[in-house]
Chains A and B, each alone.
Chain A
Amino acid sequence: MTDTPTPTSYTVPGLVPTGPRLITARFDVADGFTYDGYVRTGGYTALRKALTSMTPQQVHDEVRTSEMQGRGGAGFPAGTKWGFLPPDVFPRYLVINGDESEPGTYKDRMLMELDPHQLIEGVVIAAYAIGAAQAFLYVRGEMALAQERLAQALNDAYANGLVGRNILGTDFSVDVTLTWGAGAYIVGEETALIESLEGERGMPRLKPPFFPAAKGLYMQPTIVNNVETLSNVPWIINESGQAFHDLGAPTSTGMRMFAVSGHVNRPGVFEVPNGITTFRMLFEAPEYCGGVRHGRSVKAFIPGGASAMWFFDEHLDLPLDKPTVDQAGSMLGSGAIVVMDDRTDMVAACWRVVRFFARESCGKCTPCREGTTWLERILKRMLDGHGRADDLATLLDVCESISPGLAWPPRQTTICPLGPSAVSPIASAVRRFQHEFEHYVQHGRPIDGVERHAIHGAGAHV
């Protein structure tokens, strides 16, 4: 498990904006994951409040007021999404996406391991708001501890009348079913997750026509929300949507968890005021990552998960704000930030990311199934010193076949965004560091001054 540093203070004057820890506070409580620990630290008060003193509409309104953006990747406001459910169509389902598998993302895992009851409380409140009598909590296959703790928490919650029939003596009932995946990144995509829940192969459905809110699980209206999204719900109910909205920035409200990895001194998960903290603060402030390793500078960084376009030093002072980052040509996505210092081999880094997507492609559609592997093979061949003069052109042209125009937000010939995700690193790296690629082609080795890794010369995979 990655070491989670606990910032001692959020109050370095002038440098780092402050904010409360809404959903990670219990990470410091040794037994915060147990039922007793949770209740002792104020757990399940929001549920009681929602069920006994609020209508579902009022709960929904609070979440709408909070303008909380979904934390799964797309950043769509949760309150608005809930409003897409067609009225009067039942049964409808709530699906919680705990499949977190994007390289560098490990915030949901912490939430499930260290505060499972908070998630369950959020799930029950959300189910109440949207009128779902059945929720499915889908946890990534490899997360054994999260599964174990969630299972225990769910049992305790059932035993204490907080999930199940007539919750807290009200006439609201919801069952929560725990399921786990079988180790596929693509199942994080909401429609693939739904297929998997139905017992099918985890492959995305086409949108249109299969928008989950209209035709989701078992073709019924379904809301899919991320673990972090729903973990925020109890706080919003306790403190009000407006209180949440007052945190962070108006364009990206609330606190938000970022998982930072790569060439920083102290990688970890941090809950920071959304929209106002900048990338530089996150990388450099002692409360957070405490600077780039060996005092080097940042050559590039991925601002929001492996699918995002890369950022460079000129982006360091951008705030972690959805519209700002979108406009600068990338995304905050899943909140996974990967830092690459000035000794990083861009071709190798690019290959690493592309290889991930090639291996995780579900194989459903041609451009991704064939294209991502082709990209990976070309890059690997370059790394192995067998680059060809036309490789760079081919690389970009194959990218174009997957994501026409190499635009941002990406256009796609594929069914889901996974295919274009493999294009992002190439499009970013080639745009900025074309010479590194050309150097590989001409000399069969990286430019001087970058670190060489074991991957050089290693046999091609598969």
Chain B
Amino acid sequence: MSDETIDDTDGTDVDAATEPEPEPKRTLTVTVDGRPFEAQPGSMVIDAAIAAGSYVPHFCYHPRMTPVGMCRQCFVEVDGPRGPMMVVSCMTPVAEGQVVRTDTPQVKRAQEGVLELLLVNHPLDCPVCDKGGECPLQDQAFSHGPGESRFVEQKRHWEKPIPISDLVFLDRERCIQCDRCTRFADEVAGDKLIHFISRGNDTQVMTFPDEPFSSYFSGNTVQICPVGALTASPYRFKARPWDLDQRASTCTTCSVGCRTVVQSTRDELVRYQGLDVESVNWGWLCDRGRFNFESIGSDDRLTTPLVRGESGLEPTSWTGALGAAARLVTEALESGGPRSIGILGGARGTNEDAFAWAALADALGVTLRDAQVGDGLPTEVLGLPRATITDAANAPTIVLLGPDLKEELPVLYLRLRDAAEKRRSRIVELSSVGTGLSRYAWKRFPYEPGLGAQAVSAALADPEVRDQLARGPVVVVAGRGNLAESQEVATATLASLLDGLTGAGASWSVLPALRRGNVVGALQLGMAPSEGAGGGLDVLRAAAEGRLELLVLVGSDPMADCPDTDLARRALAGARRIVAVDTFLTASSEQADVVLAAAAYGEKDGTTTNLEGRVSGVVAKVTATGTSRPDWMIATELGLALGHDLGFGSVDDVTDAIATRVPAYAGVTRTAVARNVEGVLTEAPLAFLPPASSSAGERNNYDYRLVVSRTLYDRAVGTATSPSLAHLAPGPAALVHPLDLELVGVSAGTEVQLVGARSSVVLPLHTDATVPRGTVRVRFQQGGGSVGELVDASTPIVDVRIERL
């Protein structure tokens, strides 16, 4: 990113947005087909008409995108200064006293005319079309069409579906050129990779030559296409809409917590659709969240519990496995007491799972527990004044100090990108490498890993930034942008930023950008280190130093999750016994003595908490794989085996217990969750960041400072076991600035050795112009030479040399 300040010629909108709105929201009275209706100012006639109960057929209009008035289907009659006029209702704003008619003969004629025209070239291959049965064209042809077509000419022919990306197929014969997919790609996703080409009757959606539609958000185009022109490979020909059974749920792949509709047929998950909720995802999903349901039906899933025997892990009965686990707990308690047991996990389960395990830990007196393994921020970050996504997306200033949101929290990226594009917010980005939001940032303050405090000072000393901060609420999106920078350093940088903002008189709040699905819920519900007990890294260190009799991994996979691979390896080797609760055998759980097969999302009911602290429901849509059980049930049964009755007979009991026992969750009753599609917001008790100091020094000129960051597609179990996504991971690579590649003296793609203080790894070297000079960025968890070998969680930063082989 060469330009640190993106010139913003039109700052006035931002000003306007910050002005307090004293006027209470008022409505406008319009008449729709004779009935008065109170419409929202700024809404379109089509919104008012449909809300007032007069359906207006439409194709191109989508309430989450700019109206374009292209399909011409939504004609209505509006009384104008020169008498009644036909207008496209999707482009006509409501006005006080407006008289709207949706059913005059002229309107009917126009609507029928357009529908007939839409069908002239439509192949009408409904019987073999995935959209058939849920198709707006089919439905509206039936409700608003002329009934028959007079078109006797040859229809337009194109090659039947062509792949436009690894996931999406385009059937141009079915396309009605509504511009929804293309508009989404441009306006919502910012990936203008599909476009109309040719003209007139040959107009077609197309990618640019040799450039596939490889957007992280491509699945949304399939969902919003009003015909069967776009289909996604995971669902193609899998089911017919009338055979689908569906329930509203929540995506837990990351902590954005997008609301979804989970659809299954014959006890098999076949599709996730985005549910439009105002506060979170606006109907959008990222492709990882949308398509990784495939992993739930994976053949690699654990179907029974396993216990280590003569020849390794062997399948066993639940009675046997729980008995074995209980024995290990009892032995540990006997020989080392509760302080010799550590429990890691909870972030991959439901609130109920985390709460039940925390309750069991409480019952056993185990204090060494954490839902994070050195890959997040201290729990106290949740007790800072918390912002919602909507707060962030409406704040005049958004300060980014954390991960690349496009890679880690994709739909949050969409919301913040929208805030910047629509000029509601200015983004100030503090980061060591360019991110997906860099091009939308108003100002960037790049910093060398470890020296974030300098960037904070520079930002706060900038007079324009100071003016900007005075314009109203500031939301800090805080997370871990670099896993090679220690949690201590990240915390210290955040603390200096927040102190600086307070000093500058800014009114700030924090949106924690912790990535794993239910990490916030797990931490808030007790899977957090208690005071003085130390966090996940300390649990691993205790294990590595032989101080743990038993390590319990509840969906936690330190080998994959902990940035310090060596520590994770030593911990798993050093713990005397390991019990793992998991859906798959992972690099960590395969080392356990007892593996308890866990039910996955889609197989269990419950609730989840997103990064805002918003609680929403997740549902069981299919029968759990094999004999696998939800984590909360495993905790309960293990408790019973140990003589501790946690008192949970059903998942509802756990949900109720959370509402009654956890003050922050007092409002999170089952009825509240069921009733609020937007979820229920919780608030953690106020806290302060623990003191942290950053002791990173300057970089030696021969070294490169290491940045380890995630990409959306990696070797994570859910992705690796989803066939449609598995091959999308970019693969292992070290990325340097093009000039540094020259300095190293190899051509792009050559394998080089990254030599650190503790170890070295071999990786192909590539260029990335968003990586500053003197920095090397390595994607986390991509297989190949594990970069985690270079990371030492106890050092503030990691410097490496790049050596030719």
Contacts and interface: CB of A to CB of B under 8 A. Distances in A.
Nearest to A361: B200
Contact of B150 (A369, A381, A394, A462): A394
B201 interface: yes
A374 B196 contact: no
Contacts of B681: none
Interface stretch (B115-123, B606-614, B615-623): B115-123
Contacts of A378: 153
B200 A404 contact: no
A206 B69 contact: yes
Interface residues of A, number: 39
Contacts of B264: none
B369 to A, nearest CB: 56
A353 to B, nearest CB: 15
Contacts of B201: 358, 361, 363, 369-370, 372-373, 462
A62 interface: no
A373 B114 contact: no
B75 interface: yes
Interface string A384-396: 0000101000100
A443 interface: no
Nearest to A411: B86
A313 to B, nearest CB: 34
A341 B472 CA distance: 74
Contacts of A415: 69-70, 72
Interface string B111-143: 001101110110000000000000000000000
Contact of B72 (A201, A361, A365): A365
A404 B77 CA distance: 13
A86 to B, nearest CB: 15
Interface string A28-57: 000000000000000000000000000000
B200 A401 contact: no
A362 B199 contact: yes
A401 B202 CA distance: 20
A360 interface: yes
A377 B114 contact: no
B91 interface: yes
Interface in A412-444: 413-415
Contacts of B69: 206, 365, 415
A254 interface: no
Given A206-B91, A366-B117, A388 B196 contact: no
Interface in B39-69: 68-69
Given A361-B201, A373-B200, A462-B202, A367 B91 contact: no
A405 to B, nearest CB: 9
Nearest to B120: A370
A397 B117 CA distance: 11
Interface in B102-116: 106, 109-110, 113-114, 116
Given A362-B199, A362-B200, A365-B71, A401 B117 contact: yes
B199 A404 contact: no
B152 interface: yes
A374 B200 contact: no
B30 interface: no
Contacts of B650: none
Interface residues of B, number: 34
A112 interface: no
Contacts of A209: 91
A241 interface: no
Contacts of B121: 370
A184 interface: yes
A364 interface: yes
Interface string A241-264: 000000000000000000000000
B671 interface: no
Given A363-B177, A404-B110, A370 B199 contact: no
Given A201-B196, A360-B200, A401-B113, A366 B86 contact: no
Contacts of A359: 199-200
Contacts of B118: 366, 370
A369 B71 contact: no
A360 B72 contact: no
Interface in A270-305: none
Nearest to A405: B106
A100 interface: no
B176 A366 contact: yes
B114 to A, nearest CB: 5
Contacts of B249: none
B177 A369 contact: yes
B202 A374 contact: no
A216 interface: no
Given A365-B72, A366-B176, A401-B116, A372 B196 contact: no
Contact of B114 (A184, A364, A413): A413
B114 A374 contact: no
A321 interface: no
Interface in B144-200: 150-153, 176-177, 195-196, 198-200
Contact of B152 (A373, A388, A398, A404): A388
A363 B196 contact: yes
A445 B606 CA distance: 75
Nearest to B153: A377
B317 interface: no
Contacts of A390: 150
B106 A184 contact: no
Most B Cβ at <10 Å: residue of A371, A394, A402, A413: A413
Contact of A184 (B91, B152, B199): B199
B153 A374 contact: yes
Contacts of B200: 358-363, 369, 372-373
Interface string A195-234: 0000001000010110000000000000000000000000
A223 to B, nearest CB: 21
B153 A404 contact: no
A115 interface: no
B203 interface: yes
B73 interface: yes
Given A364-B70, A366-B71, A370-B121, A401 B153 contact: no
A363 B198 contact: yes
A99 interface: no
A415 B109 CA distance: 17
A369 B198 CA distance: 12
A381 B153 contact: yes
Nearest to A206: B69
A374 B198 contact: no
Contacts of B177: 363-364, 366, 369
A363 B179 CA distance: 11
A415 B87 CA distance: 11
Contacts of B198: 363
Contacts of B68: 206
Interface in B191-219: 195-196, 198-203
Nearest to B198: A363
A374 B151 contact: yes
Nearest to B178: A366
Nearest to B73: A366
A414 B72 contact: yes
A377 B121 CA distance: 13
Contacts of A414: 72
A113 interface: no
A120 B728 CA distance: 55
Contacts of B199: 184, 186, 359-363
11 contacts: A206-B88, A209-B91, A358-B201, A362-B199, A363-B177, A363-B202, A365-B71, A372-B201, A394-B150, A413-B114, A415-B72
Closest 7 A/B residue pairs (Cβ): A401-B113, A363-B203, A361-B200, A373-B201, A370-B117, A377-B153, A206-B69
Interface of A: 184, 186, 201, 206, 208-209, 358-367, 369-374, 377-378, 381, 388, 390, 394, 397-398, 400-402, 404, 411, 413-415, 462
Given A362-B200, A378-B153, 4 more contacts: A365-B69, A366-B176, A402-B113, A404-B109
